[in-house]
């Protein structure tokens, strides 16, 4: 039988990064931890939550189907809902057209300093 060093059999401590949490998000204690319930949200509730908060369920539990279908359908549903909401809130607003410019001259002006730095004249 092989002896395993004691330091390899102890459970590792959690990374300090885990304890720091995410900047800007409240830290939960046992008393303030959101409670998991047996209820599942509907697709309409998930879409409403996404429009109000910008957050969505990473497991896509409101949608049925296999893994790929549960990624594609929610993506399409949430994106379409966001587009509809933006259009509803901004009727009649238009984006100003981009000014006409010579894209070749603009590209050369932006890229030329980098090229000259990489390939100086001998």
pLDDT in tens, 18-52: 445 555 656 656 566 555 555 678 999 999 999 99
Q: What is the DSSP string of the chain?
A: -PPPPHHHHSPPPPPHHHHH--TTSPPP-TTTSPPP-S----HHHHHHHHHHHS---TT-TTS-S-HHHHHHHHHHHHHHHHHHHHHHHSTT--PPPPPP--HHHHHHHHHHHHHHHHS---
- Whole-prediction pTM: 0.51
Task: State the pLDDT at residue 27.
Answer: 63
- Reported confidence tier of residue 71, pLDDT bands at 50, 70, 90: very high
Percent of the chain with pLDDT over 70: 67
pLDDT at position 41 is: 87
Res 9 pLDDT > 60: no
């Amino acid at each position: 039988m092989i002896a395993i060093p004691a330091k390899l059999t102890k459970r590792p401590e959690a990374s300090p990064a885990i304890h720091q949490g995410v900047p800007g998000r409240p830290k939960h204690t046992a008393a303030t931890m959101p409670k998991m319930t047996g209820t599942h949200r509907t697709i309409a509730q998930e879409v409403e939550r996404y429009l109000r908060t910008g957050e969505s369920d990473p497991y896509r539990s409101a949608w049925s189907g296999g893994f790929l279908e549960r990624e594609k359908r929610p993506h399409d549903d949430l994106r379409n809902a966001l587009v509809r909401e933006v259009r509803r809130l901004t009727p009649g607003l238009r984006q100003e057209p981009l000014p006409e410019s010579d894209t070749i001259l603009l590209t050369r002006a932006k890229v030329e300093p980098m090229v000259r730095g990489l390939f100086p004249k001998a």
